[in-house]
Amino acid sequence: MAVIAVYSIKGGVGKTTLAVDLAWRFAVHGARETLLWDLDMQGGAGWVLGHEPAKVAHLPAGAAAVFQRDGKPQHLVRPTHVDRLSLICADDSLRSLPLQLARLGQRRRLAAMTTRLRCEYERIVLDCPAGMNEVTEQVIAAADLVIVPLPPSPLARRALDMVRRELLRHHTRHAPILPVLSMTDMRRRLHRDLACGEALGWPQVPMASAIERCSVHRRPLAEFAGGTPADLALGRLWRGIEAKLAAMAPVLGGQPLSRAG
């Protein structure tokens, strides 16, 4: 079992689309029981999968209530139209989650909850809010692998270094980080120079209208644009992540990784 966090220090880099796509591929192509947990109050992951935020009888205060000491994430899990793929939707209550976590004072609350879910799901994908706050600290403590989509600009390397510095400032050791060059257009010289230079070897996701249409169709890309260059690129990324997780298998047990990457 593995917890995969999709995180970016800024928004607008395709983070949610990537999280949904990876979760879909884990479930469909990997035939793994998968949970997509949306921690971003905008609720994009649920939206792409055709879901709307809904109050749950056990948790009248919304999605943030599950982080209380007696909260149970199982109460928020909803099935999707995709076999083996379940979802925890976000809602407006997550707006107050950073303050709630700071008051609670349990930096490994999310890690404890994902540990309890390990017997039910082989893959847990976390769609994380942008920025750096108490939620980020919870995510890093829980994750076995952190996927960081970055825009194809000279600031990409700087943003990645900033993420690494911030993580090390709060966590002496943390899970491996996999940078992904997102929204790449190889017709642009700046993008080509970065992809063949500082970002050489990073997985790449192309800029493509098909990816943008995920939020219009409210479906993962492969369901309406299979076989397109964007779908093939996302498939390569998924296979690379599965290979990395397989290589990490000896240290993936009941606890998240505790080594830097």
pLDDT tens-digit series, residues 138-195: 998 899 999 999 888 877 778 888 888 877 776 666 678 899 988 888 888 888 888 8
Listed range (4-8, 14-18, 32-36, 193-197) with the worst mean pLDDT: 193-197
Closest by Cα among 62, 44, 40, 64 to 52? 44
DSSP 89: -
Cβ proximity of 158 and 19 under 8 Å: no
Record the pTM: 0.90
Closest by Cα among 193, 165, 104, 175 to 139? 175
pLDDT tens-digit series, residues 84-97: 999 999 998 999 89
Dihedral over alpha carbons 106, 107, 112, 117 (to 10 degrees): 120
Cβ proximity of 147 and 153 under 8 Å: no
Q: What angle do CA 29, 34, 40 make, to 5 degrees?
A: 115
Say which residue, 55 or 127, is predicted with more confidence: 127
For the cut 70, the answer to whether the pLDDT of residue 124 exceeds it is: yes
Domains of the chain, start order: 2-251 (3.40.50.300)
CA distance 217 to 50: 9
- pLDDT given at position 155: 76
CA distance 182 to 193: 14
Cβ proximity of 199 and 155 under 8 Å: no
- Sequence-distant (6+) residues with CB within 8 A of 146 are 4, 5, 7, 139, 140, 167, 174, 175, 176, 177, 178
At 260, the amino acid letter reads A
**H helix intervals, the chain:** 15-28, 44-48, 97-104, 109-117, 134-142, 155-170, 189-195, 209-212, 214-217, 222-225, 229-247
pLDDT tens-digit series, residues 194-203: 888 877 888 9
Cross-strand partners of 126: 5, 37
Cross-strand partners of 37: 88, 126
